[in-house]
Structure 1
Amino acid sequence: MATEKQSSLTGRIVTGMVAGIMVGVLLQKLMPNGSDFVIPLYLFDISLRNLLVDGIFEVIGQIFISSLQMLVVPLVFVSLICGTCSLKDTTKLGKIGGKAIGLYLITTAIAISFAISLALLVSPGEGVNMVAETSFASREAPSLATVIIQMFPSNPFTAFAQGNMLQVIVFALLFGIAMALSGSAGQRVAKLFEDMNEVIMRLVTILMNLAPYGVFCLLAGLFTDISLSTFQNLLAYFLVVFVALLIHGLVTYPMLLKLFTGLNPMLFLRKMRDTAIFAFSTSSSNATLPITLETATKKMGVKNSIASFTVPLGATINMDGTAIMQGVATVFIAQVFNQDLTITDYLMVILTATLASIGTAGVPGVGLIMLAMVLEQVGLPVEGIALIIGVDRLLDMTRTAVNVTGDSMVTIIVGKSENQFDEDVFHDKSAGRKLEDIDFHHLDSKQ
């Protein structure tokens, strides 16, 4: 029975996504180029744009995203404290962090290297004579030293309020270590945080059951305003990035998982479906973080002591999807402006983008800032970014789905290497399904 209900939840989410896209495309036919469609009635006229796109879809979609973001800070803080204080040897944190960061950097380097190779093979910018309708002003990215200094909060409550994930992670780690070293007092506080973690995870489950409606509204509103003519002009660029993202998510990650753990990659991808849909719909790794963490622990079998650290870290610094966009965009812009890049230039692109995935963590608009950094390193005009902004929204959704898949993959590898992984849970196709079943008519803490 639980299996049927879980299948029903997954089916409803997929249905909501497909229906939202179809409704958005239909509304775009009725309201092309941002126009409106007015239905005249006897006493007043009804504007479809005001009623649906800027009204119902916008309100429900933004409430859904805000609800997910609402959980991020408390979930990361509480879960990471529980994971840290449960470690028998807190010195392992450095080892776990080193493995996670190393794997994230390796996958980012693979991603951008593959993207550049594919772009050079296809040459999406050859023969394109485009003029940017808008300009792009790059913002200066902070230095690595500044980022390291800003990882440590002067006021943790300010970090909570601003959603500064690196500072929240650092404070939670220090708090968890202090609890582990506080004897019986730490154990009493730990029980409180464990109970809080259970409640927060249950709140995540509630939002998952409401997801089909949020997904529908987000995609219906988005596809109403997507310019199809822009996609036609940038079709080659769009397809190269999209195919590179699919290959990285469906081939590279499963291969690495198989290589390092020997686990079934197809089962891994099957268990990632719901999380990937959430990521695609919200276009935010941080907003999807509660779902990613629940998937890693309840469905994949990684212990909370590992997942509570590697998943938030990945949501902050793992940018494989962005790296793929940067690689293709660099080749595309170079070809559009008829500028030749040398092998040294391409190596510089790979190095800069890989290091920048950590160096610009937590900065708003990080993808465009990183791309501006890359273009400046090889002497390409930053204004070229304006050429690809029009199609970046849909690609951003896809690369977010790729990023959260990479977060889960690295979490499994680190968990298994540290013997903090339950292989029986991973092989159990119904793992986590019962937890996602909520009867809103009979609220029982034992359900």
Structure 2
Amino acid sequence: MKVGNKLTIQIIIALILGIIVGSVLSPMADQSWVQWVDQYIFNLVGQLFLNMIFMMVVPVVFISIVLGVVNVGDPKMLGGIGLKTLAFYLATTAIAITIAMIVANILNPGEGQSQLLDSQEVSEYRESELEGGSTGEALQQGFDQTVINLIPTNIIEAMGTQNMLQIIAFAIFIGIAIIAGKEKSARLTALFEEANDVVMWIVMAIMKYFAAIGAFGLVATAFVQAGFGAIQQLGMYFICVLLALFIHLALVYGSVVQFIAKKSFIWFIKNFAPAMGVAFSTSSSSAVLPISLETAQDNLKIRKSISSFVQPLGATINMDGTAIMQGVATVFIAQLSGIDLTLMQMVTVVIIAVVASIGTAGVPGVGLVMLAMVLTAVGLDPAAIGIIIGIDRLLDMTRTMVNVTGDATIALVINEQQTRREEASKAEA
């Protein structure tokens, strides 16, 4: 069971219908019948689809990482792939936030809107999130604790809370142990391969029968609740984020695919479109990971040993789209506050955002947590995040799509480099 063109078209149609229906109903969102439709139809079918996908995330990640490590075969080669993957991810994240800050400084989205800092949303965010909330706890977590938390003390708890970094770490240990066992572990390897076939069949069955209706529900409820009212007030901020996302997607990923992987970017987008559509509707890199893996392996022909290692790692630490939001939001909030960020402060924003993309990977609401860290580092009030929450759900859909596309881009690059290296070795022999 594979992701085909028919399913891709169905998802795209569902997304368009969801946007149209949600936008039409948004001005009537306070009416009881619209609230009923939103809660018991749009949200119901959307959350059922999302829960079915989340149900498969942990088994897919765990089994995929184990098989990825086993298929690489050489722990030294695995280390090389891991370091190269991490370097690519950090580099693209730094480029992403730099692009975002340049766009924001050119378009000046916060000029003449200082009154937004006195809004009720700012005070509510300060009370609910910064004073004893999850964001406040995350800001207090030190680098040492972040590193310590990479290794799980209880793998069952890590799986129960979907702590992806800990699951990945445990899966790597299992994979290396299977490699060390050699012939003695052959039956265990076969068991993991059969388990992978089973979980991927379930994932693709969910996609075949529920993806379109689920995507429609998720997008429709997002537009009913957010609508375009908040966009009108924060229009320039909204445009800046979308423009920076498009530039990064087209120029950075396009160049990487075209000149490093030596593939057509149009071919890449066409074949990876199903995963991009699901990413847009779910707003979760983890939720779309099972579909992203299957699409990359079947449509982009990325070998499982590369895809199974690179993409789950990217879903946890690669946040180019999120970094773009942080860059634009930081400049936006600085302009609201009447503060001109110095060059050193802008460099600080880039560094903090890149480091935080790894350090806060397991924290719920990671984008806003990372933004709070960035704002605090340059002396801005993190409570101002409350201003952009109203439209964050809509932007989250687009930046998740960019995040997931970035994961597949790097997986394709490493796959092609590995293939060329192997071909060169055979030619020399």
TM-score norm. by structure 2 comes to 0.91
1:123 aligns with 2:121: no
Residue pair 2:23, 2:227 contacting (<8 A) in 1 also: no
| 2:362 maps to amino acid | G
Shift of 1:220: 1.6
Shift of 1:293: 0.7
1:101 corresponds to? 86
Structure-2 change in CA distance of 1:178 and 1:28 (3 Å)? same
Residue pair 1:348, 1:377 contacting (<8 A) in 2 also: yes
Structure 1: distance between partners of 2:391 and 2:421: 40
Q: 1:117-137 CA deviation, whole Å, 9 max, x = no partner?
A: 111111111111323222332
1:172 corresponds to? 171
179-188 or 324-333, larger mean C-alpha shift = 179-188
| 2:5 maps to amino acid | S
Residue pair 1:152, 1:167 contacting (<8 A) in 2 also: yes
1:86 corresponds to? 71
Residue pair 1:180, 1:187 contacting (<8 A) in 2 also: no
2:56 corresponds to? 71
Residue pair 1:349, 1:374 contacting (<8 A) in 2 also: yes
- Structure 2: which 5+ runs fail to align? 424-429
Correspondence 1:7-18 to 2 at 5 A:
7-18=5-16
Structure 1: distance between partners of 2:329 and 2:400: 17
User: Residue 133 of structure 1: which of 115, 120, 130 is its match?
Assistant: 120
Residue pair 1:301, 1:421 contacting (<8 A) in 2 also: no
Residue pair 1:16, 1:215 contacting (<8 A) in 2 also: yes
SS at match of 2:75: coil
Structure 1: distance between partners of 2:84 and 2:161: 28
Residue pair 1:60, 1:214 contacting (<8 A) in 2 also: yes
1:181 corresponds to? 180
SS at match of 1:82: helix
1:149 aligns with 2:148: yes
1:426 corresponds to? none
Shift of 1:87: 2.4
Structure 1: distance between partners of 2:227 and 2:293: 34
Structure 2: distance between partners of 1:361 and 1:348: 20
Residue pair 1:231, 1:238 contacting (<8 A) in 2 also: yes
Structure 2: distance between partners of 1:96 and 1:422: 14
1:49 corresponds to? 35
Shift of 1:48: 4.2
Structure 2: distance between partners of 1:275 and 1:112: 24
| 2:395 maps to amino acid | L
1:212 corresponds to? 212
Residue pair 1:303, 1:421 contacting (<8 A) in 2 also: no
| 1:128 maps to amino acid | Q
| 1:157 maps to amino acid | I
Structure 1: distance between partners of 2:246 and 2:81: 28
1:413 corresponds to? 413
Structure 1: distance between partners of 2:26 and 2:376: 37
Residue pair 1:333, 1:384 contacting (<8 A) in 2 also: yes
Shift of 1:304: 1.1
Structure 2: distance between partners of 1:325 and 1:255: 22
SS at match of 2:64: helix
Correspondence 1:314-393 to 2 at 5 A:
314-393=314-393
Which structure has greater helix proportion? Answer: 2
1:272 corresponds to? 272
SS at match of 1:418: helix
Shift of 1:282: 0.2
Structure 1: distance between partners of 2:422 and 2:198: 23
TM-score norm. by structure 1 comes to 0.88
Q: 1:24-50 CA deviation, whole Å, 9 max, x = no partner?
A: 122224x2xx4124xxxxxxxxx4422
| 2:207 maps to amino acid | M
339-348 or 132-141, larger mean C-alpha shift = 132-141
Q: 1:202-259 CA deviation, whole Å, 9 max, x = no partner?
A: 1121111120110111112221122422211100000000111111112210111222
333-342 or 7-16, larger mean C-alpha shift = 7-16
Shift of 1:370: 1.0
Residue pair 2:7, 2:274 contacting (<8 A) in 1 also: no
How many residue pairs align between the two structures?
A: 408
| 2:304 maps to amino acid | N
1:24 corresponds to? 22
Structure 2: distance between partners of 1:93 and 1:146: 26
Structure 2: distance between partners of 1:53 and 1:242: 26
Structure 2: distance between partners of 1:11 and 1:407: 23
1:35 aligns with 2:30: yes
Structure 1: distance between partners of 2:251 and 2:93: 14
SS at match of 1:363: coil
Shift of 1:301: 1.4
SS at match of 2:120: coil
Q: 1:156-194 CA deviation, whole Å, 9 max, x = no partner?
A: 111111111111111111111111111333101111111
Shift of 1:421: 10
2:44 corresponds to? 59
Residue pair 1:237, 1:328 contacting (<8 A) in 2 also: yes
Runs of 4 or more above 6 Å deviation:
420-423
- Structure 1: which 5+ runs fail to align? 38-46, 424-447
